[in-house]
C-alpha cells in the first residue's frame, strides 16, 4: 500500500515484477562494455544522464574503479530494460528516462512511456544499495567489488498500455463486462469501453496549516472515505493573502463510478465527510 496522488494511473495497491542481477568485479570489467560501446542505450542523452548520476553519487566519488563499475552496471541495466520495453510496446514506442528516488537503489532512474497524451511511469530501477547487497551475499574477500542492478515493472501500467485501458481502477472491478474481455490464452485485444456514466466535480478550498501540509495525506484520507468512487483529485488554485501571509489551496475532486450513475445526494454526503475529516485530521481551515 502507498499514499499517492489520485488519478486514472495511480492506485494505492499495485503489482510488480522485480528483477535483480549481481556482478562480481571480473564480470563487470570483462563482460560489460564501457558506456560508449553500449549499443542498447536509447541515445546519447541517456548515456549523459547515467554518467551524471554516477558522478553525483557520494559512494562512487571515492574510487575511480568503483565509478567506472557503476557506470557500466547502470548502462547495462538501462540498455537491457529499454530493450524489454521495446519488446513489450514496439520498437517505435516513445520512451524517456529520468532521475528518480527509490529507497533500495542508488543511483536510481525511471522509464516513462507516452500513453493517452501523457507520460506514464512503467519501470523504476537503479544500482542496489550496497548494504542490502552486502547482507545477502555469501562472505567475500574484503577487496572484492560486488555490485547489482535491480528493476521493478508495474503490471497494471503495462496492461493499461497493451490493452488501451483508460482507468487503473478497472483492474479491481468484478464487472463481467470487464473481466470477459480477456482471453485465457493471452491474446491481446483493445479494451472496449462499457461505462458511459457521468462524472461529478466538487471543489474543496482551505487555508493551509502553519506547521506544514502533506498532499499525500489528504489523498489517503479521500481514498479511505470515498474509495474507488473518486476518479481524480487535482490542485486547481493557489492563493496567498498578502496581508497575513496565509496560503490557501483549492482541490477539485472528480467522482465517477465505473459501474453506475452517482446521485447528487451520495456525492454530497461523501464530500461533506471528506471536508469534516480533513478539517479534524489534517489541521486545515475550510473556506
Residue 143 has pLDDT above 70, yes or no: no
pLDDT of 63: 66
Which of 44-58, 107-121, 144-158, 182-196 is predicted with the least confidence, judged by mean pLDDT? 182-196
Average pLDDT over residues 260-269: 93
Residues of the chain above pLDDT 70, percent? 94
Q: pLDDT digits over 21-54, tens only?
A: 999 888 999 999 999 888 888 888 999 999 999 9
Mean pLDDT of the chain: 88
Average pLDDT over residues 217-229: 93
CA 95, CA 109: separation in Å to the nearest integer? 13
List all residues 6 or more positions away from 67 whose beta carbon is below 8 Å from its beta carbon.
54, 55, 60, 61
Average pLDDT over residues 93-122: 91
Q: How confident is the model at residue 61 (pLDDT cuts 50, 70, 90)?
A: low
Amino acid at each position: 500500500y502507498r499514499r499517492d496522488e489520485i488519478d486514472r494511473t495511480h492506485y494505492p495497491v499495485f503489482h510488480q515484477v522485480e528483477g535483480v542481477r549481481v556482478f562480481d568485479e571480473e564480470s563487470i570489467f570483462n563482460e560489460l562494455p564501457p558506456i560508449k560501446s553500449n549499443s542498447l542505450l536509447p541515445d546519447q542523452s541517456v548515456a549523459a544522464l547515467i554518467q551524471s548520476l554516477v558522478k553525483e553519487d557520494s559512494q562512487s566519488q571515492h574510487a575511480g574503479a568503483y565509478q567506472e563499475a557503476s557506470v557500466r552496471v547502470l548502462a547495462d541495466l538501462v540498455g537491457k530494460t529499454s530493450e524489454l520495453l521495446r519488446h513489450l510496446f514496439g520498437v517505435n514506442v516513445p520512451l524517456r528516462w529520468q532521475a528518480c528516488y527509490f529507497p533500495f537503489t542508488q543511483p536510481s532512474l525511471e522509464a516513462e512511456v507516452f500513453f493517452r497524451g501523457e507520460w506514464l511511469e512503467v519501470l523504476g530501477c537503479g544500482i542496489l544499495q550496497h548494504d542490502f547487497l552486502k547482507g545477502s551475499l555469501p562472505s567475500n574477500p574484503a577487496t572484492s567489488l560486488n555490485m547489482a542492478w535491480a528493476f521493478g515493472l508495474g503490471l497494471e501500467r503495462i496492461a493499461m498500455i497493451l490493452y488501451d485501458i483508460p482507468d487503473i481502477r478497472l483492474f479491481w472491478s468484478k464487472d463481467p463486462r470487464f473481466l470477459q474481455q480477456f482471453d485465457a490464452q493471452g491474446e491481446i485485444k483493445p479494451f472496449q469501453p462499457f461505462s458511459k456514466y457521468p462524472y461529478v466535480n466538487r471543489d474543496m478550498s482551505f487555508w493551509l496549516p502553519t506547521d506544514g501540509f502533506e498532499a499525500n495525506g489528504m489523498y489517503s484520507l479521500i481514498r479511505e472515505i470515498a474509495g474507488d468512487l473518486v476518479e481524480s483529485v487535482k490542485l486547481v488554485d493557489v492563493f496567498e493573502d498578502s496581508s497575513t501571509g496565509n496560503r490557501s489551496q483549492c482541490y477539485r475532486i472528480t467522482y465517477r463510478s465505473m459501474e453506475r450513475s452517482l446521485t447528487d445526494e451520495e456525492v454530497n454526503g461523501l464530500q461533506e465527510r471528506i471536508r469534516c475529516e480533513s478539517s479534524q485530521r489534517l489541521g486545515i481551515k475550510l473556506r
